[in-house]
Amino acid sequence: MKALVTRLDSFGDVLLAGPAVRAVAARADSVTLLCGPLGEPAARMLPGVDRVIVWDAPWAGFTPPPVDRGDITRLVAALGALDADTALVLTSYHQSPLPTALLLRLAGVARIAADSEDHPGSLLDVRHHRAPHAHEVEAALGLAEAAGFPCADDGLMRVRDVPGTAELTGGPPYVVLHPGASVPARAWSPGRCAGAVAELTAAGHRVVVTGGPGERDLTAYVAGDDALDLGGRTDAALLAGVLARAGAVVTGNTGPAHLAAAVGTPVVSLFAPVVPAERWRPYGVPYVLLGDQGAPCAGTRARECPVPGHPCLESVTAHDVLAATEKVMQAERVVPA
């Protein structure tokens, strides 16, 4: 059986799909993952994925491209060449799977499964209704089971081929602080992050600050003279290695939080409630949520904080982060197999 799994969103979304991908891989002869450009690095790290097709969908992401007939025609041809027998369309709770399902149907995929609140017409063969409060990992596993692919292992997140990183970080112990986020509403302010570095360092913790190529100024400011600045120096695989050897990771609701969970590292989650924590919190590892989960921005999916002063996260102090970090570091650590 040739299977196709789609998850067209960001890096963290693709990581959260990993347990469902493994469930499919346990019963399929091959698994192709269709993802967006932001999700590609995660897709190439997931166990069970044999092939990755990257496509920038007009209905996904923060800056979707315009609809291009030729681009869609080329994608349908590429998907048709897979000769897939079955497909899972994985989406978040607020997204419709039907645009993707239509393209899969045009590509000749005979059996398509998805969670859908909208009437799917002839686009879906398995129309599943996810539990309303399920975590994204559990929701994806629920769809996979409904489609005939029950979970075949512990259901935890994991990635493969995690490299050594001693040349970057030195040996453990250390704490990682990742100050960036995919949108401003989910980010703790640089000043607060720098204060947390100072507080952690004063308490005897060695701190490593991570960030992408476009975040070098941010990581340099946050690291200051107290922490090791790795801004722009790690790709996805190297970041996995850095996180895997950390005692804890301090970050917002963003991709590195889920990558930390995938390598079994506890997370101090500076979680802005613009999306619900029950669906998006770190999964399968010890964690502490910091931030006012009942703030006025709760559930708005806002990219820019709609409340002056960003109180849901700015109410969190450096001492709060220190206490939470030491708490999760004392918890029993679960290491994905």
Structure token digits, residue 182: 């995919």
Q: What is the pTM of this model?
A: 0.95
**For the chain, what are the domain ranges?**
2-146, 166-330
Contacts from 160-166 at CB under 8 Å and sequence distance 24+?
A: 160/45, 160/46, 160/47, 161/45, 161/237, 162/237, 162/240, 162/241, 162/244, 162/263, 163/237, 163/238, 163/240, 163/241, 164/241, 165/234, 165/238, 165/241, 165/242, 165/245
Q: Which helix (H) or strand (E) holds 3?
A: strand 2-7
Residue 337 has pLDDT above 70, yes or no: no
Q: pLDDT tens, 95-126?
A: 999 999 999 999 999 999 999 999 999 999 99
Nearest CA among 43, 47, 24 for reference residue 34: 43
Band of pLDDT at residue 8, cut at 50, 70 and 90: very high
pLDDT value of residue 295:
87
CATH number of 166-330: 3.40.50.2000
User: Does the pLDDT value for residue 323 go beyond 70?
Assistant: yes
CATH fold match for the domains 2-146 and 166-330: yes
Query: 128: left (phi > 0), else alpha (psi -120 to 50), else beta?
Result: beta
- The predicted-structure confidence for 140-181, as pLDDT tens digits, reads as follows 999 999 999 999 899 999 999 999 999 999 989 999 999 999
Amino acid type, 273: P
E strands in 110-200: 111-115, 126-128, 175-178
- Per-residue confidence at 301, pLDDT binned at 50, 70, 90? confident
The pLDDT value given to residue 97:
96
Q: Side-chain half-sphere of 226: how many Cα atoms within 13 Å?
A: 22
The CATH class of the 2-146 domain is alpha beta
